[in-house]
Chains A and B, each alone.
Chain A
Amino acid sequence: DAGVTQSPTHLIKTRGQQVTLRCSPISGHKSVSWYQQVLGQGPQFIFQYYEKEERGRGNFPDRFSARQFPNYSSELNVNALLLGDSALYLCASSTPDAGFHEQFFGPGTRLTVL
């Protein structure tokens, strides 16, 4: 069975640009969460989506947005990129059967902002 997949693996952008990151959950999982992991820190929660609806949002500015599609895949968009947005962006999938708590992570997208 395929795990959580993310694309692209690496991305380099310049300040002010916009970026879109993509995630496909484990087959059968209807919830996707996004996390930002800055170098040397633990991941921080950005969004959770379930059945195409936003379930939860972390403390991130409005430049960050996301959506979930009918096939449960998801996109994370970041506008007006700042140097501080350079990080590993992780996607995780889960199901309500375990209360959304047990999350399975993808390998991440490494974003570098120059």
Chain B
Amino acid sequence: AQSVTQLDSHVSVSEGTPVLLRCNYSSSYSPSLFWYVQHPNKGLQLLLKYTSAATLVKGINGFEAEFKKSETSFHLTKPSAHMSDAAEYFCVVSDLDRGGADGLTFGKGTHLIIQP
């Protein structure tokens, strides 16, 4: 079985400061990991993905995440927050060995607030 725990339901940072959104995963097989972003009244947009290649993954809009197997973590970071980053962020896991038949498993989300 696969699961994801997002460690913070809300994160508030000032514009121009670093962002850290934390995620731990559990997977019986080799995981594929993703971060998605959801802006209000908009669809889910893929930020970045890890699929057993490089452990440091770069995504869109300056975001990146590092896969740490020993810590079962996949934290999302950005060096400098922008007002447009305010949104809901979801950490997502999919078991590679199950061929995706179990669908994507989403965390409960982290609401990112950017203070001016």
- The judgment on whether A and B are partners is yes
Q: Measuring CB to CB, which residues of chain A are less than 8 angstroms from any residue of chain B?
A: 33, 35, 40-46, 48, 55-56, 58, 90, 92, 94, 98-108
Does residue B99 face the partner (Cβ distance < 8 Å to A)? yes
Most buried by A among B34, B42, B96, B104: B104
Measured between beta carbons, the chain B residues less than 8 angstroms from A101 are 32, 34, 49, 51, 94, 96, 100, 104
A2 to chain B, nearest CB (A): 13
Interface residues of B (CB under 8 A from A): 32, 34, 36, 42-46, 49, 51, 90, 94, 96, 99-109
Interface contacts (Cβ under 8 Å), in number, total 69
14 residue pairs bridging A and B, Cβ less than 8 Å apart: A33-B103, A35-B103, A35-B104, A40-B109, A41-B108, A42-B108, A45-B102, A45-B103, A58-B102, A99-B51, A100-B99, A101-B32, A105-B45, A107-B43
Q: What are the residues of chain A within 8 A of B102 when measuring CB–CB?
A: 45, 56, 58
Contact A107 B96 (CB under 8 A): no
Q: Which of A46, A58, A99, A108 lies in contact with B43, CB distance below 8 A?
A: A108
A42 touches B90 (CB 8 A): yes
Residues of chain A with a CB closer than 8 A to B44's CB: 43, 90, 105
Say yes or no: B106 contacts A44, CB within 8 Å: yes
Contacts of A45 in B (CB 8 A): 102-105
